Structure 1
Amino acid sequence: MDDSGGSTNRRVPRQRSTPTRARRTDAEIRDYRAATRHLCSGMYLDADFRRRVLHEVHNDNRRRVAPSFGFRLTPVLVHGWRAWRIDLCLHLAVCALTLVALWWAPLSAALLIGLLGAWRTTQALYDVTRQLYTYFVQRKTEYELRQVQYRFKALGLLMAGCLTLSSLGLLGLALQPTGEAHEWPLRGDLLDTALFAAALVASVSLAAACRQRALNRLRDEDAVNLEPRSTRQRTIADQESHTFTIYSGFDPFIGSGQRIHRRSWSFAQPLLVAEEPAALLHPSMAKEREFPVPPFRTHELVEYLHERLRTLADEADPEIRLPGLVVDDRIMLKGTFVNTYREILESPTLKATRQIMADPSDAARHHLACQVDSWGGEVVTTVFVHISLQGKTLYIEFSTYALTPTKSAYQSIDVIGATGPGAVRRAVGRDLAQLPKVLGRTGQLAGELRLGARARQARTDRTAKPRRGSDIGARFSTREDASQQPHERDEPAPVETDADTNYFQLADIHKHAQVIERRLLSSMTHFLKLKGVDTSEFRQRATAILNNGVINHGTMSMTATAVGQNATVTTAPAPAAG
């Protein structure tokens, strides 16, 4: 629900580690419409997804929103409220028609409600019968059998009730006397029943046509590139692109997708002075290896890596350029510790960012976010690099995350025949074929009204002012929710098992992660050499990571295992028992 008015919110600029950064070209920005368009279509096609987004993102003004990678959140919210209005009008129309029917012709209403209930129950009984057949084929647990049997009995009783109601209505219409002198308190006839049924069919058809026409317009660029239309949406637009990621819970990388464990690692590198060749031949000439003071600061290494990666996005040669690459600063901060950083959060500066880099033991942690968006924003690979200097040691941590494509149902608007005049007719036909199910959603009217009322109360950003003991961290990500099944949100499945990810999308995730990883490691090696740091141990660790994709942080027992290129293993047979 678009609102206007309320308090104004100051737009917060993004902070960069250097004056220049890798910017997206106009062609890449247009390419991002794919993920945004699919999320907008999900607002019309998935009512549960729409309610979660509007409730957890738009209406929850007590929490910050998660960063938006590969898409824009504002158009999704605008289309979400448009879809909400279509469904709300349908629910109100069905309720009004039902009340009029019950008042004007109760017998006709009873007949129609009974017939629609029996129709819906028949569809549910068909689904339960298939589940019962699946049980006997796959031999599932006894608990699942009892659940199916319980549903079967409950639907049988519901079917009997619906048939009884429709029979009583039909019997009352048949036995109703004619004439004003013998008029019954209960009125109605078959013509009234037909009129009420036609009104319901017209309401459902109109809502389906409006919904499909809105989906058709999503193919137009102007329908996706929408600007914020309310105070709350402007606040959300500022927060989704902010340098700070304010998170709630354990994982600070909310909005980044699933963690790629094979490409996440960390190690500590001692800062030792590189020895001269003469000192290697004559140990007496060796000097103290450890630097008394670090030869560089954390922000110097971060900005050097930023510049080296930026060149990959600026190359004119397509065989050198890495399209879609964006390198940015990311500061992770738990929502319960925001009050300490309130001034920096409202107006981040380069000086404040460098102070956070220099003090990695505090609540705020700096990461260099190296992100590649591909497939129109449907696949987003992000490598978060955390660097710190502590105890005269360089600590490096790589965390790789990937956003997989949105659900295939949301991408259906790109299928041939999914839009256009024919698609409108097919959408109306689908809803009419499931008429009882569509009408049954009217029970969600109270929830939809609460959603709209809560939107009017969410105009003011309640995260702008400090509150004692409050957690304003984001706990919901629209993009992550749209790319995973509901049962996978708490414990995401590996990317390899995602049904909506094809082979090449998975290959691109690992390719982009390895390209960024190799570029970062080679740049770090070059930087350490320039600062006179011994890189022998660093090169060994980097070689192990790049070649094998594995690094050992502790004791590891490996039996009959071969690691590395062209590695083999030979095992001897166990001796015979004596």
Structure 2
Amino acid sequence: MSLPEHRYSRTEATRLLCVGVYQDAGFRRRVIKELLDHRERPVAPANGVDVLPVLSHALRVNRLEARAAWLMLGAWVGFYLSDVMMFWDSLADRWGDGADIHYSDVQTALFQGDDRLTDGLPLPWSVLYALVALALWFARAAGERGGSAARSAGLPDPVAKAADGAGSLISFAAWGFALFYWGWYLKALLGGHAQTPYPLLFPLAMALIVWWYQTAQRTDLCRWLARWTFPTATQPDLPPGPLFEVLRDDVRREQEAALTLYDEDSPFLGLGEQGASWSFAMELRRRPRTPGDTGPEDADTGDGSGNGNGSSGGSSSGSGSGKGVLPRQAAGPLSAESALAMIEPQLTTLRESAGRTGKDRLRDLEIDRFVYLPGGVARDEELEVGGVGDPSTALTRGDGHRRGLTVYDPAQVAAHLREAVDEGGEGRRVFLRIRVGAWHEQVVVTVLVRVHTQGRMLVLEVVPYVLGPIRKEFRAVDAFVDKLPETWVRAALRALRDAPVIGVESGLGGFTTLRSTLTAGWSDDDRLPDVPRVSLRALASTSRLSAFQRMDSTRYVKTIQERIVNGVREALKAHGYRTEEFEQHVYQLSGGSVFIQDMSGGAVATGSHGSAAHHAAAPHPPTAPATNASTTS
């Protein structure tokens, strides 16, 4: 089933998340769990990533892992049966012909040992090799996940370092146990005490399975996900079937929609770490009129909220020819719609300027309006368009009947954008979303803007978010791929080394896949409508930014905030409101400085250690000044 193209289908973030499903089995299973097992959940907003190719690669690796697991299972069963047959023959020789030998007798003999079969080892060959494989797998897992799990859980650095140390200690003990028994195994095997070659043949067979498994993965990385092939390569398709057809259509619609459902505890899912929010409130006061001014009247006719009809497309230039006409005058009171319409051109100009003058990442600035809707609606639940927007927008089928649409359909989203922008509701909210995907989508800066204009008040809310780069081990794939192809000798030695660990990993992965397959669909019909719970882009990210990345993210946020300020200032002027109080708020919130329009008496201090005091004037002598202000810093 072919994958639809999305604007983020070829981004570096999409490529690295596809790489991640090959390198991290836990991440791969989380991708499948969120997108396939929890089909009642919509996907999180696309933040520089198309999740369909990620799911496609995850399913492909799962199929490879399942085949390797079945082959490994066959090798292990054969290994164990060889042990059983050897001990059965040994008991038959010892007890004589015609002896009644049961399987329980063989089991007792297996764990009593036999000097002729195992050179005095306390366990049979298969069980001993299984212990070695488990110990090696546990050693690697403890070493890799000791501190990373603590850091991903947000624990302080001292706790993470302690977890690192504990993981290293456990890993060292497991390595020691594994090497001890591995040495014992090889000594008994190479010492010539094994009566048959099966204790060597089955580990070699497992190494061949691992060789095939690793080669298939490396081939896929070079074919689809290398830096030079990913931009043009056609990514693997989803499996055929109605389930994946529905899933593909749902994910495509949800990623392209300017709307998302949210949970109250985490409304801005996947945006990253919140920066310093910025908000203020001011009273809307009319500017004094001048002769010939054709702007709005001094007294508002409403509560200041407007209905978005006065300047929904931005502000219009004055067309009168009389003198004293203020430019860019707009009819009607200031509304949230008209304020956002004045901010958007400022950001568009910034983007165009950055594109003309250099390679600044602001040339790719994304500007759109986005709706956050409370959860409670299923991703595939049909709604009447007229129930959300204007009844005249209801779509009809060929037979003239009204057609229900899901909440993510364009008609529904347009209705929400139209109605919610000026309502100031608590649940449904419209934001102006400004996004910068910097460092090849490794650092994502998102600024959300919301405007309220009810009750002759202007309230501006600006909330920035920064999403960190994708995990370092995912980004290391390019250095790995550059070394391919490798010689067969090196590949064979690596397969021999990794065979015990990969044998355990493929077995665990195969068991997980089998369990998911058997339980899929059992309770789907009983699941309540849900909201996005996990952002795969955020799940694969880190919070550590380099010095340059932090500098750039700060610059982007400050530049965007300055454009927002200019847009609000222009909106106030265009609608005939005074801007002095707005300028005062801007200066107060910019770097902690203070703006004073006029002052009579008192004292002012500046600087981080400044102090000021005001002293009342003495009544005598008459020539003394009325106030005496002193300033120190």
Question: Which letter does structure 1 place at the counterpart of 2:376?
Answer: T
| Distance change (3 Å), C-alpha of 1:393 and 1:402 | same
Report the structure, 1 or 2, having the larger helix content. Answer: 1
- Give yes or no for contact 2:21–2:54 (8 Å, CA) kept in 1: yes
Q: Deviations over 1:452-495 (max 9, x none)?
A: 4566889x9x7xxxx9x9342101110000003xxxxxxxxxx5
* Rounded Cα–Cα distance in structure 1 between residues aligned with 2:44 and 2:489: 38
**Which residue of the partner structure matches residue 347 of structure 2?**
309
Aligned residues: percent identity? Answer: 22
**Which residue of the partner structure matches residue 286 of structure 2?**
273
Which of 237, 240, 256 in structure 2 is aligned with 1:241?
256
Deviation of 1:59 (Å): 2.3
* Rounded Cα–Cα distance in structure 1 between residues aligned with 2:145 and 2:440: 39
Greater Rg, structure 1 or structure 2? 2
| Distance change (3 Å), C-alpha of 1:289 and 1:225 | farther
- Give yes or no for contact 1:518–1:546 (8 Å, CA) kept in 2: no
SS in 1 for 2:581: helix
| Distance change (3 Å), C-alpha of 1:249 and 1:297 | closer
| Distance change (3 Å), C-alpha of 1:99 and 1:146 | same
| Distance change (3 Å), C-alpha of 1:249 and 1:86 | farther
| Distance change (3 Å), C-alpha of 1:399 and 1:471 | farther
TM-score by length of 1: 0.71
| Distance change (3 Å), C-alpha of 1:377 and 1:342 | farther
**Which residue of the partner structure matches residue 510 of structure 1?**
554
Structure 1 residues 374-383 or 162-171, which shifts more?
Answer: 162-171
Gaps of 5+ in 2: 87-116, 118-122, 147-156, 292-296, 305-332, 389-406, 596-604, 613-633
Which of 425, 435, 447 in structure 1 is aligned with 2:499?
435
* Rounded Cα–Cα distance in structure 2 between residues aligned with 1:249 and 1:305: 28
Determine whether 1:476 maps to 2:525: no
**Which residue of the partner structure matches residue 308 of structure 2?**
none
Which of 14, 26, 35 in structure 2 is aligned with 1:48?
26
* Rounded Cα–Cα distance in structure 2 between residues aligned with 1:85 and 1:447: 12
- Give yes or no for contact 2:2–2:238 (8 Å, CA) kept in 1: no
Which of 90, 94, 100 in structure 1 is aligned with 2:78?
100
Deviation of 1:110 (Å): 3.2
Which of 210, 213, 219 in structure 1 is aligned with 2:219?
213
1:368-383 to 2 correspondences below 5 Å = 368-383=432-447
| Distance change (3 Å), C-alpha of 1:50 and 1:506 | same
**Which residue of the partner structure matches residue 250 of structure 1?**
265
Deviation of 1:125 (Å): 6.9
**Which residue of the partner structure matches residue 318 of structure 1?**
357
- Give yes or no for contact 1:111–1:169 (8 Å, CA) kept in 2: no
| Distance change (3 Å), C-alpha of 1:478 and 1:194 | same
Which of 41, 49, 72 in structure 2 is aligned with 1:71?
49
* Rounded Cα–Cα distance in structure 1 between residues aligned with 2:433 and 2:212: 47
- Give yes or no for contact 2:140–2:171 (8 Å, CA) kept in 1: no
Deviation of 1:408 (Å): 0.7
Deviation of 1:273 (Å): 0.9
SS in 1 for 2:20: helix
Determine whether 1:333 maps to 2:373: yes
Structure 1 residues 162-171 or 427-436, which shifts more?
Answer: 162-171
Q: Deviations over 1:231-280 (max 9, x none)?
A: 112321221222111122412111212212x2x122222111123589xx
- Give yes or no for contact 2:274–2:466 (8 Å, CA) kept in 1: yes
SS in 1 for 2:590: helix
**Corresponding residue pairs, total:** 486
Q: Deviations over 1:280-335 (max 9, x none)?
A: xxxxxxx9777754213322222332233223334451349722211111111221
* Rounded Cα–Cα distance in structure 2 between residues aligned with 1:529 and 1:427: 71
| Distance change (3 Å), C-alpha of 1:256 and 1:127 | closer
Which of 196, 210, 214 in structure 1 is aligned with 2:202?
196
CA RMSD for the aligned pairs? 4.6
Deviation of 1:390 (Å): 2.2
Deviation of 1:368 (Å): 0.8
* Rounded Cα–Cα distance in structure 2 between residues aligned with 1:189 and 1:520: 82
Q: Quick one: higher RCO (CA 8 Å, sep 6+), 1 or 2?
A: 1
Deviation of 1:515 (Å): 1.2
* Rounded Cα–Cα distance in structure 2 between residues aligned with 1:509 and 1:145: 30
Determine whether 1:300 maps to 2:338: yes
Which of 41, 61, 86 in structure 2 is aligned with 1:83?
61
Deviation of 1:61 (Å): 0.6
Structure 1 residues 298-307 or 471-480, which shifts more?
Answer: 298-307
* Rounded Cα–Cα distance in structure 2 between residues aligned with 1:101 and 1:257: 50
Q: Deviations over 1:137-188 (max 9, x none)?
A: x9999x98998899699969977996899699979x95xxxxxxxxxxxxx8
| Distance change (3 Å), C-alpha of 1:412 and 1:350 | same
